[in-house]
Amino acid sequence: MKSIAPSPKTTNVPFYKLVASSVDLASVFKIAVDAFNARDLTTLMNLCDDNIVVVGVKRQDPYCGKSAVAAYFAEQFRTNKPTFTPTTSATTINSTASVGHIIGAADWTDRDPDDPQGAPLDSTVRYAFNFVSRGNGWLISTLWGSTDQ
């Protein structure tokens, strides 16, 4: 007779803790958006996981790891002066409260570095922030955005 091994137990987080995790996740998202718009690289990078991956909005180039992402953001802040204003969002957190996602659409403005006057470029972007829960809170693990143009 063949014995069947028990399946690994999945520990679900109580609902009230998921709600608290969702509030914490939304708070980290807001802090990240505010830091990005203030061009506060230090705060923004403190919210990022060491293995963060960012995909650039315009060319969809990937930047991997904190140092590459910090260099990318520093250059964007210096030349393009982008702003990101979420207009819609949806939040999900897995049942163990270890992974969270915030996706939606946002108004995006930056400067055209090829224009001597720095003419603004305005568009709508779709975005996805993925987060991982570390012992002391949520960290951004992946950040992606894309224009519809």
pLDDT at residue 42 is higher than 80? yes
Report the pLDDT value the prediction gives residue 49, as an integer from 0 to 100.
96
Q: Which residues pair with 99 in a beta bridge?
A: 132
Residue type (1 letter), 18: L
In which band, very low, low, confident or very high, does the pLDDT at 97 lie, cut at 50, 70 and 90? confident
Report the pLDDT value the prediction gives residue 7, as an integer from 0 to 100.
47
Sorted by where each begins, the domain ranges of the chain are: 15-147
Give this prediction's pTM. Answer: 0.82
CB 69 within 8 A of CB 45: yes
Phi, psi (degrees; rounded to nearest 5) at 32:
-65, -45
pLDDT in tens, 112-147: 777 666 667 788 999 999 999 987 789 999 999 988
> What is the topology classification, in CATH, of domain 15-147?
Nuclear Transport Factor 2; Chain: A, (3.10.450)
HSE-CB for 53 with a 13 A CA cutoff: 9
